[in-house]
Every structure is written in C-alpha cells, then in structure tokens.
Structure 1
C-alpha cells in the first residue's frame, strides 16, 4: 500500500495542477502572438506592421504587466486572496484577448496595442498569484517541485499556442485567411472558463487566512491540504510555526512598499529576487518565446516548417520542465540555475557565430546546427531561469510582505522583457546574428553573479528564510547559509512527515 500516494499528496498535486491551468492561459497568451507575426491574414489586418511596430506589440504587453505588478497584483493577492486574485487576473486577460480578436479596420493596430496592454495587466496577476498559492500550500521539501508546475502550465500554454497557430495556417480559403488568426487568439477563453469556474471551490492558503485572522478557516484548510481529517492534531506543529512567524512579522501592522527598500534584511531578498527575474528575461528567453517562428524563417525554414518546429520546441519544453520538477528539490535552486545558464551561453554563442561564418543560408548544416542549439537553449531555460525565477522569488519573502516582494521582483522581469521585446527584431534587422552575442554575455555574467551572491534555499521552510537571510546579512558569508533555522525546520518537517504517515495509514486501513 506504500506505493500509493497519501491523501494529502494527492490533494497537493491536484490543486497544483489545477492552478497550472491559470499559468496555461498566461503561456497561451504569450505564445499565440508569436504565430501571428508570421500569419498573412494578421499582417494584412494590421496593415503590414514593420519590425519596430512588431517589437512595440511585444514590449507593450510587458508595460501592462509592469503596471500591474507595481499597482495591482500585490493589492489583489493581499486583499482578495491568492485564488480570487487569479480569478480577477484571468477575467482581465480574457477582456484583453477579446479586444485583440476584434482588431480591424483603420484602428486595428491601436486595438492590438490596447488589447495587449490589458492582457498584460491580467496575466501579471495570474503569474504571481498562481506560484504564490502553490508555494504557500506546499511542505518545504516539496515546494520547489510544486511551484515548477506553474512553469509547466505556462510552457504547455506556449506549446498549444504554437500548434494552434500551425493548424490555422492550413485553414484554406478567404475565411481561413481573415478569421483563422482571430480564432487562434479566442481559443484561450476555453481553459480560462474552466479555471474561473473551479477557483471558488478550492481552499484559500492557510498562511493568507492566518494573516487575515481567520484561524479556524486556516486550520480547516491545512487539515484538508495535509489529508489529516482523521487526526487533525498532527497539523498543529506546522500551523503553529506559520502562526508564530506571522505574529512576529505583524508587529508592522501594514507593510509598505518602502519597507522592502529600507529594511536591510528585506532588501537583501528583494534585489536578489528582482535581479533573478530581470536576468531570466534578458538571457534571451523573451526573444525566443515571441519570435521563434521568425527566427526559424531566418534560418531557412519555410513558414509551415517554422511553425511546426516552434510547436515541437515548445512541446519538448514541457518534458524538460517536468524533469526540472523532479530534480529541483534534490539538486537545489542554485545548481539548476547554473546548469541552465551554461547551456544557454553555449547555445547563444553558436547562434551568433555560425551565421557570421556562413551567411545568407549558404550552408544548410550551419543553419540546422543553429536550430538544434535553439532547442538546447530551451532545455537550459526550462531547467534554469524559467521555473527557478518564480520558485526562488516566491519562497524568500516573509508572509506579511510576500505578495509585495514577489510583485516588485516580477516587475523587474517585465522591464527586461520590454527591453528585449523591443530591441530584438530591430537588432536582428540591423546587426543580424551578432545580437545573440549580447545574450551570451548576459548569461555568462549571470553565472558569476549567482555563484557569488545567491544562497541555496532548497529544503527551507518559508519561516526559515528569516534565519537564512539574516545570517547572510550579518555574516556576509554566502557559503554555508543552510545552517540557519535547522532546529525549527526539523520540527516542522517532522510534523509534515507525521501528517503524511498518518494519511498513508488511514488510506491503507480503508483499503
């Protein structure tokens, strides 16, 4: 009977998978725009936008996300709770999608810009509330793998978007030409509806409920999450740890944004989370996500093959991210980040050098090598920055200011995306493959930064991060941070083990 997962494990997996549906909507919204850039019907409807105009369509989305991260996302997560914040974000994202679907006539380009801003506004809320929910319901030793489901949902949305773009490109006739791209944008409404219907029926996170003084609801939620209905007392150690941490932090009744910048301990976390999100976009990921079919076209593939290759690349990302989910809590955040950066650096230098050595697609072997190394880049991102930027960012902030910290950090990622989204098509047009050398340099610099300044957070409870970053601040010693809070963590983990063991026993008895 020990081969069967416990009741708590099944619930944890189901909830994390359900919330990944929200990330799917977010990923689909990103991926579908890349297919539009090579869709003739969309190009005609928007009056043949040039490289700079396409760059603006990409970048303006991240202006929406930045505004939302700074002014809306944190407020929604703190006031509404993680699940209803995700609900609000999904609705706003769908409104943006509807505006994009309706783009036509002389105002088509303006409608696309407005729709992209609105979608960015909503997706920013989804992209923070989903991993925030996942991190707060998970035991410490499983948190990394659980939050990686956020990224699995996102890359699944990307993959489906590319395959939908590929499918509608084969829709024949005038109707397919004019309406195919609109249908591809509208398909995001299907998963969004299922996500919105299910959200009111899932529990709020115990941490958020305790933060709002709803102790009994928090206890019931934790009992449900750990599958401990038959012995509710076994969740007391974990509940007490969370409660004590919140009470100690709530000496500040209402945390302000300035606290993140003026409190040295919090700022030590903030700049690391923000820089990680910034590097995660400046490494070249935004360029690959938004311009992948265009990149494949430049390497000599036909439009049909470019869309197909983009779908294959995004599908393989799902497998790579699942692999990361299985190893992140064993290898840790830092090692997987470094591995990812090393692989991405190699991929970018190859894509920069080979087209210079063999220009104008004269050497097909060179072009195919570049395509292969784009797949290598995707592997590196999927085991590195892609999931880790969110895993690391969601776990380092204390409860009372976690939503604000995550949103400020994520806003730095939005800035990176604005920069890359705007300059990449223009860079390719003017300096060609030399653009990839910039991404190589960023990835190489990122490795050095992470080696020196980023402590490992693997296996730490959310409450133990205070000790970890306090040690970092007081001793200025990056190596050996893992000692902070061991005693408290042991007690907490023992409590989790007890809950799971009891759940296994109960399930076995019922069988």
Structure 2
C-alpha cells in the first residue's frame, strides 16, 4: 500500500488532469482547419474538405459542443455525493475513470455533432465525479499543515493536463484529415487507465472508514500516513479521538440528507462552499481557456501564430500555480482570494477599455474566420489585450484556481462532507456549462462588453470574500468545524491573529509544541 501523501496526491489528481486534457484539446482543435471543415456549417457545408475557407460550426453549436462536457460534469458531481457515501472515495474515483474511457472512445469516433456532444457529455460525468471527490479524498488523508498544498495540487494537475494536451493537439494539427483531432481524443484515455489501476494501491479515506465504524482500519491508515506506522503516536491518538467525537455527533444528528444543507446553521457555510466554486467560474478563466484562440483571433493572430501564443497562456498557468501550492497554508485562504479578485478586476476592465476604445466590428465572417460578426482590435492596443489575457491567467492560477478545490472540503462536518462538496462542485459545473455555451454568442452580440461583465463579477467576489469567507488554513478538519460553530466575523483582527497562531501550531517547525499539548490533554 502506498502511504506517502505526496505519491497518493500525485496519483489521485490525475482526475484533475483529465479535466485539463478535455479543456485544452477543444481549445487547440476548434481553430484548426481540419476541425472546422469536418464540422462545417458555413457556405461549403458537409462533407469534409480541405478548403481554407471552412468556417466551422455556428457559435451556438460550438457553444453546445464545448458546454456538453461541463453539462455532464454537473450531473457527475451531483451523483458523486451518493457514490462516495455508499462505496467510498477510492471506488468513486475508479468509476469516474471508467466513464472517461467510454466517453473518449465515443468522442474519438464522432461522425457528427450529436455523437461528439454525447461523447463529451460522458467525459463530463467523469470530470464531475473526480473533481468533487478527489479533493475530499486527499483532504481527508492529508495532515493539517499540508492540506492546502496537496489538495491544491488538483488545480496544478489541471494546468498540466491543459498544457500537455494543448501541445499534443497542436502537434496533431499538422496531420491530415480527421486524424488531427481523433488522435488527441484517443490519447486522453491513457491517464484514466493509469488512474484506475493506481487507485488499487492507495488507502481508503480514514474518515470514510470511521463513518463506517471500521475503527481498526481507520487507525491503521492514520498511523501509516501520519506516524510511520506507529498506532500509539500521540497525534494519531488525538486525531482518532476527534474523529470518534465527530462521528458520535453525527449519530446524534442522524438526519443526514441534502436538505440539511439548506437549513440553519449549515446554510451559511453551504452558501460559501457553493460560491467559492461559482466565483471561480465567473472569474472568466474558462473564456481564456476554452476560447483563447477566439480572443487572440480578434486581436489579429491567426494560424500557427495564434496557437503558439495560446500555448504561452497554458505555460503561465502551470508555472504561476506553484507559488500558491507553496504558500497557501502559510498565507491562508482569504488573503489569496482577495488578491486574486482585485487583480482580476483590474485586467478585465483594462481589456474592456481597450476593446471598447480602440476596437471595431470585424468584417463579415469574423476576423481570421474565428467567429462570425465578432470584434477586432489591431496595433499596440491589441498587444496589450493579449498581455492582459496572460495576466488574467497569472492572477487566477495562484488564487481562485487552487483555493476553489481546497476550500469546500474544509467547511463541512464529516456526515455532510461528501454530499456538500458534490453540490458545491456541481455549482461550478453548472456555471461552467452556462459560460461555455454563451461565451461565443456573447462575443457576437455584446462584443467587447463581455469583458465588462467579468470585471464586475471579479469586483463583487472581492467584497463577498472579505465579508463572508472564514479562514481555515492550518487546522484539522475537526478543528475547522469547531471554529465555524463560533460564528466569528471573518474580517475581525482578533480572529485573524488566532488563525495565524493556529497555522503556526500546524507547521512542522512547531510539531513538538503540538505534541506537548497532546500530553497535557492526555494528563
């Protein structure tokens, strides 16, 4: 059995890599002539041809193709709450990997729009399951002072999946005919196969085992992960005792159902868990990720220049996520979310100002055949828009990207965690679906004002974080539960100082101090 938390994390977050694979395969492919000709709705219509003038699917159809994956993810995330409570975290992730393989086969063999949409929808079922339950699984295994790092690795895995698949798709764009998009969609099955078999060698969540009254297995895994297989370690005994108390409380409050989440006092924290996922979509990041070739096409880039410039976006996404993984547990969740929101507000409004002030209506057919009736901008303002697009990614990657996966599992008690995180993640995919579907028509209908919308959302989320989001860094999941019951105002200085002290207590440098406290409590 694998017991190193970093190896466990590396295998688990392959579920995030699948999301990244799907996202960038579509991003890189929708701008290629092979894709646009095979799925053509322009003047030349069906069948596939090598015409350089193929316009591809209409904006609404392309929105539907892109949105089918998050649509499936919404359903998958909802179902995952039932799967994880019934079969465990490991089995849920394995079920998701099998579903991914099925969806990839259908997408790879797609002959028309409906078949492609069905394949991507099935892929989405997997992404919904894995995106909801991988963070729960890793959070329930990780020590408190490493939880932000290892759960945040989910986002880093997504960024790697985006980058790797984009370059695979870019390389395949030089293939002739339908192989240019069928090969990438076939290759994306490989990590799912690895995930399915890798999970067999990993431990089950000790908190799920505790919920099933499998206390010997629970203690064994806690000892293996946290204490080099020493079941008598003080920290293991303390965490086991906290788990027993939490499970006992759950039995007293035995009416565990989805409806409990919308009743006081759980409703307040449930709204926070839902909105951290909703806001992560309303940052507009997937406008950049899904439709970066559209955005850069409006800025005058075409062909290989567009694809290469787009790939820089994904490199930034990978690199800039690293600081968040290193400092998320030290700095805390609130400051990182606030800094991300403010910087996103600046870049989106700057893009809107440049597009509105220096842009103009694109010629019929769209600039560089990117989107019909779109907007265009040229010269130095266009270069600044491209730079701002990079800065949007550089602001999202170390803030809302990883925190949106770390935060929800920390907010809820054990009895509700699987269901609550499933619903929170489902809200992510619901808004992902909406934005994926409506972004192409938005570029057509409201043009540059699309940027204003995301700037306004970014400002609103900064206010929401400041007034409503509590700090959870550096505490065990059971300690977070106690903190949330105190109902302290998130922005209070006293609360902030206490949070800093708690995080310091959870750091490796102060492990001896924690052990001393354990001895005092035992005495």
Task: Give TM-score, length-normalised by structure 2.
Answer: 0.87
Query: Quick one: distance in 2 between partners of 1:82 and 1:204?
Result: 7
Which one of 439, 446, 450 corresponds to residue 424 of structure 1? 439
Quick one: structure 1 residues 287 and 485, their matched pair in 2 at CA, closer, same or farther if it must change by over 3 Å? closer
Q: Contact 2:20/2:160 (CA < 8 Å) preserved in 1?
A: yes
Separation (CA, whole Å) in 2 of partners of 1:397 and 1:93: 28
Q: 2:10 aligns with which of 17, 23, 26?
A: 17
Where does residue 456 of structure 2 map in the other structure? 441
- Which range moved further: 77-86 or 330-339? 77-86
Which residue of structure 2 aligns with residue 147 of structure 1? 151
Find the counterpart in structure 1 of residue 271 from structure 2: 271
Alpha-carbon offset, residue 26 of structure 1: 2.0
Does structure 2 conserve the Cα–Cα contact (< 8 Å) formed by 1:34 and 1:291?
yes
| 1: CA distance, partners of 2:18 / 2:461 | 29
1:268-312 CA distance string (max 9 Å, x none): 110001011111111201211211122112211122122222222
Kindly tell me: are residues 26 and 286 of structure 1, through their superposed partners in 2, closer, same or farther at Cα, counting changes over 3 Å? same
Q: Does 1:392 align with 2:417?
A: no
For residues 250 and 320 of structure 2, what CA distance do their matches in structure 1 show?
Answer: 38
Partners of 1:99 and 1:236 in 2: CA distance: 49
Distance verdict in 2 for CA 1:448–1:500, change over 3 Å? closer
Give the C-alpha shift of residue 132 in structure 1.
0.9
Whether contact under 8 Å (1:394, 1:406) holds in the other structure is yes
Paired with 1:151 and 1:78, the residues of 2 have a C-alpha distance of 24
Work out whether residues 220 and 231 of structure 2, in 8 Å CA contact, stay in contact via their aligned partners in 1: no
Q: 482-491 or 204-213, which moves further after superposition? A: 482-491
The Cα shift of 1:444 comes to 0.5
Question: Conserved in 2, the CA contact under 8 Å of 1:103 and 1:111?
Answer: yes
- CA deviations 1:400-454 (Å, max 9, x no partner) are 1101111111121122112211221111112222110000000011101111111
Q: 2:474–2:502: 8 Å Cα contact kept in structure 1?
A: no
Aligned to 1:60: 68
Equivalent residues, number: 482
Q: For the residues of structure 2 that align with 1:38 and 1:308, how far apart are their CA atoms?
A: 12
Equivalent positions of 1:177-256 (< 5 A) are 177-230=177-230, 232-234=232-234, 235-253=236-254, 255-256=256-257
Q: Contact 1:226–1:500 (CA<8 Å) still a contact in 2?
A: no
Aligned twin of 2:427: 412
- Three-state SS of the structure 1 residue aligned to 2:178 is helix
Once the 2 structures are TM-superposed, how far is the Cα of residue 497 of structure 1 from its aligned partner? 2.9
CA distance in 2 between partners of 1:130 and 1:357 (Å): 44
Q: Which residue of 1 is the match for residue 478 of structure 2? A: 463
Give the Cα–Cα distance (whole angstroms) in 1 for the partners of residues 503 and 301 of structure 2: 53
Per the alignment, do residues 344 and 114 of structure 1 end up closer, same or farther by CA in structure 2, a change over 3 Å counting? Answer: same
Tell me the residue number matched to 1:89: 96
Instruction: Report the counterpart of residue 364 of structure 2 in structure 1.
Output: none
* Structure-2 change in CA distance of 1:487 and 1:444 (3 Å): closer
How many angstroms does 1:228 deviate by? 2.1
Deviations 1:326-363 (A, max 9, x none): 11111111111111111211111122121222225564
Work out whether residues 293 and 303 of structure 1, in 8 Å CA contact, stay in contact via their aligned partners in 2. no
Please state how far the C-alpha of 1:485 moved relative to its aligned partner: 10
CA distance in 2, matches of 1:454, 1:495: 27
Q: Distance in 2 between matches of 1:302 and 1:447?
A: 35
**Cα 1:378/1:463, change in 2 over 3 Å:** same
SS in 2 for 1:432: coil
What residue is the counterpart of 1:69 in the other structure? 77
Q: CA deviation at 1:259?
A: 0.7
- Partner SS, residue 464 of structure 1: helix
Once superposed, what is the RMSD of the aligned Cα atoms?
A: 2.5
In structure 1, runs of 5+ residues without a counterpart are 1-7, 502-511
Tell me which protein shows more helix as a share of its residues: 1
Corresponding residue for residue 30 of structure 2: 37
Give the distance between the partners of 1:222 and 1:418, measured in 2 at CA: 38
Q: Which moved more, 1:352-361 or 1:112-121?
A: 352-361
- How far does residue 123 in structure 1 lie from its aligned partner after superposition? 0.7
TM-score (norm 1): 0.89
Give the Cα–Cα distance (whole angstroms) in 2 for the partners of residues 273 and 320 of structure 1: 24
Q: In the alignment, what sits opposite 2:160?
A: 156
Please give the alpha-carbon distance, in whole angstroms, between the structure 2 residues aligned to 1:357 and 1:489: 47
Q: Hey, what does 1:497 align to over in structure 2?
A: 511
Instruction: Quote how far apart the aligned CAs of 1:487 are.
Output: 11
Give 1:492 shift: 8.2
In the other structure, the counterpart of 2:321 is 321
Paired residue secondary structure (2:471)? coil
SS in 1 for 2:359: coil
- Give yes or no for contact 2:145–2:474 (8 Å, CA) kept in 1: yes
2:51 matched residue in structure 1: none
| Alignment partners' CA distance in 1, 2:39 and 2:159 | 27
Deviation at 1:257, TM superposition (A): 0.6
For the structure 1 residues 335 and 489, does the alpha-carbon distance in structure 2 shift closer, same or farther, using more than 3 Å as the test?
closer
- Name the counterpart of 2:20: 27
Change beyond 3 A, Cα 1:59–1:494 = closer
